[in-house]
Amino acid sequence: MKINFKELFLIPNILSILRLILLLPLCYLILYKFETQKSVIIFIMILMYITDLSDGYIARKFNQISETGKILDPLADKISIIILSILIFIKGLLPLWFLIIVIFRDVLILIFGLRLEKKTGKVLMSNYPGKIAVLGIGIVLLLNLLQISVITEFIPYFYYIILILIIYSSYLYYKRYKQTIGEIMDGNH
């Protein structure tokens, strides 16, 4: 995995780095100031999601798609989702089975991504069902933090909808992985 340091200064990559930096105050606030700083926690989470939406849009709109960004953006997403899921689980607001599925999904995608990059030099970009699954995970994490009684009773249904999205997007990712490996293997014969 090669990071081009010049590409780190492209706006989309700066936004991905900012997302990781925002994790620091967010972790502190969730662990130590949860009851008194909920509005700040929610603001930071929304800001992180805006950076996630913006980096891809800016990269495409201003032709700033980079190999570094293809690695940095999904890595920032995975780190953010895993850390937030663990923190919200620690607060007793997320079931263990859902936490395990979220971590398992991201670790698998990371392993397959690293294997693909090592074998082919290619990095698979996220698929849209995967982006929707990550959005769904983010919404569930946010709803669990908000603890609005009217919404809280529906959260278990959201878990199952997201589980379906995770399975579907993981299947599509694996299919693209196999196809990309197959193309490389066919090209070597």
Instruction: Give pTM, 2 decimals.
Output: 0.88
Find all residues with CB under 8 Å of 58, minimum gap 6, and list them: 11, 12, 15, 64
CA distances from 13 to 7, 30, 127, 130 (A): 7, 26, 19, 20
Q: Which two tokens stand for residue 185?
A: 């293997």
Q: Which two tokens stand for residue 168?
A: 């579907």
Reported as a pLDDT band with limits 50, 70 and 90, residue 54 is very high
CA distance linking residue 185 with residue 70, whole number of Å: 23
CA distance linking residue 187 with residue 162, whole number of Å: 37
Query: What are the phi and psi torsion angles at 37 (to 5°)?
Result: -125, 30
Tell me what pLDDT residue 157 has: 93
Tell me what pLDDT residue 161 has: 94
Q: Encode pLDDT of 26-46 as tens digits.
A: 999 999 999 999 999 999 999
Reported as a pLDDT band with limits 50, 70 and 90, residue 9 is very high
Query: What are the phi and psi torsion angles at 10 (to 5°)?
Result: -70, 145
Answer yes or no: is pLDDT of 184 > 80. Answer: no
Q: What percent of the chain is predicted at pLDDT more than 90? A: 56
CA distance linking residue 186 with residue 189, whole number of Å: 5
Q: Encode pLDDT of 122-175 as tens digits.
A: 777 777 888 889 889 999 999 998 888 888 889 999 999 999 999 999 999 899
| Neighbour count for residue 73 (Cβ, 10 Å) | 23
CA distance linking residue 87 with residue 92, whole number of Å: 9
Separation of CA 15 from chain center = 14
Tell me what pLDDT residue 187 has: 64
Domain 7-188, CATH among 3.40.50, 1.10.10, 3.40.190, 1.20.120: 1.20.120
**Average pLDDT over the chain, rounded to whole?**
89
Tell me what pLDDT residue 122 has: 79
